[in-house]
Structures are given as C-alpha cells and as structure tokens.
Structure 1
Amino acid sequence: MPRRHDSWDSNVSDRTLGHKTRARMCPLYVAGLIGPGDRKSVQPMAARASGVGYDQLHHFVAAGVWDSAPLEAALLKEADRLVGDDAGFLVIDDTALPKKGRHSIGVAPQYASSLGKTANCQSLVSLTLASREVPVMVGLRLFLPENWTNDPERMARAGVPKDRQTALTKPEIAIEEIDRVIASGARFGCVLADSGYGSSGPFRQALSERGLLWAVGLSRRQNVYPADVALIFPIAKTGKPRKYHIPDQPPVSAEALLAEGKWQRVSWRRGTKGRLTCLFTARRVRVADGHKHRMINNRMQCMPGDEVWLVGERRSTGEQKYYVSNLPADATIKTLAATIKARRVCEQAHQQLKEELGLDHFEGRSWTGLHRHALMTMIAYAFLQSRRLKAAGRKKKNLRTATTTKHAGHQASDPRPLRTTSTPTMSSL
C-alpha cells in the first residue's frame, strides 16, 4: 500500500506481523488478489504465484498466529492519507457473500441487499471512508445471526473469539467499528447509512452522543412529530394528575408528513451521463424515538426526540425513499441531497472488491480466515486506489499546463476496473 511518494514503509509488514515469513506472505497474498486470474481463493492464487506453496499461503491467512490490528491501523492511516477530509464521509453499509452449506462462519438464510432477496450467505458490516467520490474500504466485520450466537459449540468450531461470541445487531457492530475509526484519527465529516441502520433510534442516538453529523435512511412508517410540537400537561377530569408532559399533537408516519410537501428537482453533482437530478422535499421534524409514555387512551407512545431534517426523495421510477439527518437547520436542500446521495459510493467499492479482488472467493470456514482475507482485499483496494489517484494527479497536472482544468479530476471517481500494470512489492506494501 503506498504511503508518501507512492511507497509504504518497507518495514511495515515486519513490524506489524512480527515474523519474516509472515511479512513475506502479506504482499504475496495481496499480489495474488490484484494479479490475473478469475478465482482469488488460496489454491489458485498459490498456483499462479512463484516461490510460495498452497500450505504456506493457507496457513498465513487461516491459521497463522499473528494480530491483524496493526495492519488494520496501517490501512486506516493510509486511507486517511488518500481520502481523509473533514468534509468527507464515513459510509456504513453491509454486503453479502453467497455461500452454500452451513459450516462456513456466519452463513445462514438472511436478507442480502446486493441480491435483493433472502439467500444463504454471510453478511458483513462495511465501513468506507470517502471524499471527492473516491472510496477506500476500511472495515469489514461479520454479522452472526441467532442460529450461530445461540450455539456456542458451533461458534467454537469456527474459531469465533470469546469476546465475539455475543449477539450483536448490525447497528451495534457499526458503532464499535466507528469508534475504532475515530480512535485512529481518520478524518470525516458525516456518517451515512441506509435505513437498515438509520431506522434504529439507538444507532442515531449513539452517533449524536459522539458529536457526529449523520444522514441516514429511514422507514417510511417511522412516526415523527412536526418540529413545532409542544409538550403539555393535560388536565384530567378524574384521577391523579399526570406526572409527565405529553405531546400536544399525535405523531404521523414520515410518508404521511411529507406527502403534501413541496417537491423540487435538485441536481447534486455531474455524473458520467450528465447532471444527476431527482425530486426532493425536506421538513424539520422531531422523530418519535424518545422515552415511552402511556397516553390517556392507555396506548404507549414515544416522545419527540431532537429536532432534525426529514427528507423525501421521489425517483423517476416512482419509488420514494426517506431519510433523516442532523445537519444544521440552515442546510439547503441541495446540501441535504448531495450528502444523502454520497452514500452510493460504497456500492462501487463493494462491487470492485468482489468482482476484481475476490472478496467473496474465500473458501475457508473460520472466523479468523474470513476476516484476514477481507483485510487483505481492503489493503489491495487501497493500494489500487492510490495508484489511480496518482495517475489522476498526473493527468490533472498535464491538463493544467496544456489547457483548461475544468474536468481534470473526474478520472479519480471513474468506476472503471482497478487493474494496475504493476504488482505490489515489499517496498510498496
């Protein structure tokens, strides 16, 4: 992975892996992922490589005794160098790895967003650091469904660490990973996520508690209050007086509140086929995700939370999406739209990690092997992104000297294949 002047300190692998043989395996594994060949599992990579056997490569990724944390820290440092920006984004999503059988760690019938259906697969929570439409993946953590977390023996056979043998939701995993990114010092300005995460009140509240800006998807059924909702003490004709305030108006669904909104066409950036536009509307609201109170009619109702933006998007297909964000109250609808749509950059990263770097090709069954393979694919991806950014910088410089620089920077965000003519060596990893 390049560092300054397109080189990653040649001693990084020695320092982080603590053994010369393991330090040699790391760049060989990454080179196998980047190199030619359609299949990026251990056996075909070893067959294509020179000077390394299948047993050595398999032992390195699946059974070797080494700590991945220093390499994860080095990846975060490099990602920050490439795309870290106080105006950038940290995108939370998940990606599915289809699998047959039931023995591979975490595999179960579960919804796979990339397939648009429930399928037998592994599901990983992903974190992508991005700016200027350039993504660098920095985190992939496996989600364990209930049929795994309820079976300690099964987890032990798959090598799940003791501290990971607990049931965690995807939003909870995401918060753990966000804390790791924050601790690394990597720079970003706003957290983005789809409704699978954004519909979780505890997830949004955890982001706010950390002082983070966020813009996340929301279920159309989520109850919200208008921003001007007031809390009152109703006066009951009989019985004891109420101890707590209640809202002076009932909540309604996000969909219902925005149904009569003023929709306007917004363009947020230029794409490869012209300006990207869609219909948007926005309104200040308070999401009904506060503590619960029993109302006069004996029904439980969530109290209003903090004031935020509720945003609706109406696509040309007729599909409508809803989002909520704690961006400042004076944010324009164009700013809201551009922030929300920046999340799509992670889909490009998921696609390229799978199609070009073999993220979903790992054939082992263990927790350790899967996470190490995922880490190697992220290192390979960051290396290739650094090469593309450097090439884009050269092109931009040449265009400056020749003519206008109007569109010189578009090369960096072009989702073309990530192939490079050179393979990483110890001096570049």
Structure 2
Amino acid sequence: MTYVDVHPEISGRAVFPSLAPHPRDVVFDQLTPGLFASLIRSDQHRKALYYLRGLLEAEGRKSIRAIAALFGDDVSEQNLHHFVSSSTWDWMPMRRALADHLTGVTHPQAWVARLMIIPKSGHHSVGVGRHFFPSLGQVLNAQRAIGVWAASEEVTVPVNWRLHLPRTWLRDHQRRSQVAIPDGAGPETLTESLARVCAETLLGWNPPRRPLVVDSDEVHAAALFREFADSGIPLLVRACDGLALTVTDPLLPAGEGQTMPADQIMGMARDLRRPAHRGDARADTTRHTHLAATVRVALPDPGGWAAGRGELALLGVEDARGRGRTQLWLTNMTGVQPALLVRLTGLTEKVGADFTEISEEVGIRDFTGRSFGGWHRHVTLASAAHAIVALAGHARQGASSASGRIRERGPVACAAIHRRVS
C-alpha cells in the first residue's frame, strides 16, 4: 500500500512521512480538517493535501510540475493539474473555512482590501491585459486581483479573492469559452470588483464586525462610500489628493462649507496635527512616529447623499521627520481618535510586508494555467499555505518575550476601536 492510500483525514505528517518534520506541521494538522471538509471525494482531499504541502515545501517557483516532483511516484503532474485547473470542487467553502479558522485562533483588528498585480509575458492567462499602475508608474501586461485580508498587527492572511476581468475578455466569446469564465460574469470597474469581493466577505459570510481598510490608489473612494452607505461597515479608504470634498468642520472656519481637493483641505489643517504611532511591519519592537489630523467633511452630492448618511472624516498622516508624501484617508469612523485610525492604516504595511515575505514564497502568483477556476483554486490553496506560515510564526512569537505585548497591545487597540464603531 502506498502512502497515497492512507486515509486523507489523518495528520499531514502521516500522509507525508518521507518529508522531514517541519515546525509548521502542528498548524497544518489543525487547519486542514476544517479547510478540506467540503471535499467529499477522498481523492480530491488527498490531492489537496499534496498541493498544499507542495506550496510549503517545493523549492523555487511553485509550479504544478515542481509540486508533483516533490512526491515522486506518489502523485502525478497530470492528476494535480486536473485537480487545480479543471476539477469540479468549489473554492468558496474552503475560503470561508479559512476565514472561520482565522477568526477563531487570532484576533483580527480589520479586514484589509489590497490589489495584487500578477505580471505575465503572454496574453492567454485569464484576465491578462495591459494596464497602467500608478503605484509603479508604468504599464505592465498583467492580471489584476483584489484580495481581502484578515489583519492584525501580528498576523495577516488573505481569505478571499476576486479576479478583475477586463471588457476585452468578457466581450470575446471564444476567449471566455477557452478559459471557462462563468456565464454570469459581466463587465465591472476595478472599484466595483473591490466592492463586490468585500461585500461577499463581510456581508455574505457574516464574520466578526471589523473596520474595512482599503489601500489602493486605483479605487474611487467616493464610490465605495456610496456602495456601502447602508451596510453599517466601518470604512477607512485611501483617498487621492484631488478628491473633491466639502468641509463641514468648524475647526476650519476659513474652509467650512467650501468644496475643495482633499490635499488642499489637509494643508489648511496643519495646525491640527498631533503625534501618532504606527506599528512597523518589519519589527514589532519599532514604532514609527507620525503627525495626524482629521477634518470633518462630506461628499459633495446635489441629491443629498451626504446629508442622509452623516459626516465623514478626512485623515492626513505624514512622517514626523518629513519623509514621503502625506497619506490621505477617508473614513466614516468620525468618533475614532486619529491615533487609532493611524494604527489601522499601519495594517496595510503589515499586509504588504507579509505578501512579500510569505505569499510570494508560497507561490501566490505562480499559477501558470489559463483557466478561471484554476486560478481561483490555486490562490485559495496558496492563501491556506500563507496562513500556515503566518500562524506558525505567530506561535513562535507567542513563546518569546514578545508574547505579553501580542496578548495585550493588539486586543486593547482593537477593543478601543470597536467601542467607537459599534
């Protein structure tokens, strides 16, 4: 009897005895039973274990060939390719199981929505196209996807994804058919893509109520606030310099009642700035000092949208040493102190660092297949691999001298924000 004949619900170490014991095995064993509960076929369950372990253990690019080679004759490249690219299993229950597990073992302070850019050399991968990326200052041939992350100052993990599909793909029936884009997929802007994956995650899955932090210079902040106006979701969204806002704050008498660009409003509020600290994504023991201020504003709307939904706040965050540009954020959490809002913006740095240090290492962008379903299945399993690495690292930190800070600082900041947005 080969090892692939072992019942897949037993531990990862028993299924993969040829591999050296790994410190992540405990997390692997805790996560996979619930994660793969929706895979009712034993062969799919077994292949999922192989693929997940391969993302963690294979050297270099996490191609299906490299993953299959890790296990020799026990699994074939063809079988793994079919499991990911053209099988029938639904990735959504697995993503929900991942989110449920994370909220059960960690204390997310926010949900962070972030753009993932996947450069491609060809034109056949689903959704690929040429786009200008403001954050990079260049045009790339790439796929674009939005990830929703469960985030705290200690652990960040992606739990849901939406692949943005350009109109050129959706209007071409032959291309749609070749990559199996679902019939219901229609044209949408990048902002609409982000809104839909966030609504699916935060409203459809009904996870713990936490602020949604959106960090993208390609998303229209005003459209997001209109989209989620009646949702009750606390929002903190990166705003562009030129976003037109109406000042409603009596602390700025010179601008009250006027509509002007966000950067001009924040320039008028320089005397309102106060010190605030943001956790450094690279080292828990380091704190960045910033200057921050908030100004009460409204979205200009002749139809009375702002009047019916209450005021918003424009947050400006700049480095106290004068390095870099002032970050502008728009929020409906008008009762939260600027210092706590700055802590939330710091989660985007943690997500960015973890994407580079963990997601990239487990192959989140390494899928070389062309199918819509294959892409979604791969990033789902790569998100699970990211979770294993992140949770294992968090457990090691918990055993160190930093454990007291992890137990006390994060939940205290989180609770302070929850009291103000509930």
TM range (shorter): 0.7 to 0.9
Do residues 317 (structure 1) and 327 (structure 2) align? Answer: no
2:327 counterpart SS class: strand
Aligned in 2, Cα 1:9/1:225: closer, same or farther, shift over 3 Å?
Answer: closer
Partner of residue 421, structure 1: none
The residue identity in structure 2 corresponding to 1:314 is E
Comparing 265-274 and 251-260, the one that deviates more: 265-274
Q: 2:264 aligns with which of 256, 259, 262?
A: 256
Using the aligned pairs only, state the percent identity: 22
Q: CA deviation at 1:267?
A: 2.2
Q: 1:285 aligns with which of 297, 304, 309?
A: 297
Q: Distance in 2 between matches of 1:221 and 1:35?
A: 46
Aligned in 2, Cα 1:217/1:381: closer, same or farther, shift over 3 Å?
Answer: same
Aligned in 2, Cα 1:366/1:75: closer, same or farther, shift over 3 Å?
Answer: same
Q: CA deviation at 1:194?
A: 2.2
Q: How does 1:257-272 map to 2 (within 5 A)?
A: 257-261=265-269, 262=271, 263-269=273-279, 272=283
1:361 counterpart SS class: coil
Rg (Cα) greater in structure: 1
Q: CA deviation at 1:274?
A: 3.0
Q: CA deviation at 1:145?
A: 1.5
Q: CA deviation at 1:312?
A: 1.6
Q: Distance in 2 between matches of 1:206 and 1:4?
A: 41
Partner of residue 342, structure 1: 347
Q: 1:47 aligns with which of 48, 69, 80?
A: 69
2:130 counterpart SS class: strand
Q: CA deviation at 1:126?
A: 0.6
Q: Distance in 2 between matches of 1:6 and 1:144?
A: 33
- 1:342-386 CA-to-partner distances (Å, cap 9, x unmatched) read 222221232135431111111111111111110110011112222
Partner of residue 420, structure 1: none
1:224 counterpart SS class: strand
Considering Cα pairs closer than 8 Å and 6+ residues apart, tell me whether 1 or 2 has the greater RCO. 1
Q: CA deviation at 1:181?
A: 2.3
Q: How does 1:156-235 map to 2 (within 5 A)?
A: 156-164=177-185, 166-182=186-202, 183-196=204-217, 199-227=220-248
In structure 1, the gaps of 5 or more residues are 230-247, 294-301, 411-429
Q: CA deviation at 1:115?
A: 4.2
Aligned in 2, Cα 1:168/1:353: closer, same or farther, shift over 3 Å?
Answer: farther
Q: CA deviation at 1:159?
A: 0.8
Q: 2:97 aligns with which of 50, 74, 77?
A: 74
- 1:161-195 CA-to-partner distances (Å, cap 9, x unmatched) read 1122x012233222322233233332242010125
- Paired residues of 2:155 and 2:391 also in contact (CA < 8 A): no
Do residues 33 (structure 1) and 55 (structure 2) align? Answer: yes
Q: CA deviation at 1:258?
A: 1.8
The TM-score normalised by the length of structure 2 is 0.80
Q: 2:395 aligns with which of 375, 382, 390?
A: 390
- Paired residues of 2:134 and 2:218 also in contact (CA < 8 A): no
Do residues 16 (structure 1) and 38 (structure 2) align? Answer: yes
Q: CA deviation at 1:257?
A: 1.6
Pairs aligned (count): 374
1:209 counterpart SS class: coil
The residue identity in structure 2 corresponding to 1:70 is P
Q: Distance in 1 between matches of 2:240 and 2:169?
A: 28
- 1:268-299 CA-to-partner distances (Å, cap 9, x unmatched) read 346637320122222111122x2459xxxxxx
In structure 2, the gaps of 5 or more residues are 1-11, 13-23, 251-255, 410-422
Q: CA deviation at 1:57?
A: 0.7
The alignment yields a C-alpha RMSD, in angstroms, of 3.1
2:229 counterpart SS class: helix
2:297 counterpart SS class: strand
Aligned in 2, Cα 1:216/1:200: closer, same or farther, shift over 3 Å?
Answer: closer
1:211 counterpart SS class: coil
Q: Distance in 2 between matches of 1:186 and 1:169?
A: 26
Partner of residue 63, structure 1: 86
The residue identity in structure 1 corresponding to 2:386 is Y
Comparing 362-371 and 146-155, the one that deviates more: 146-155
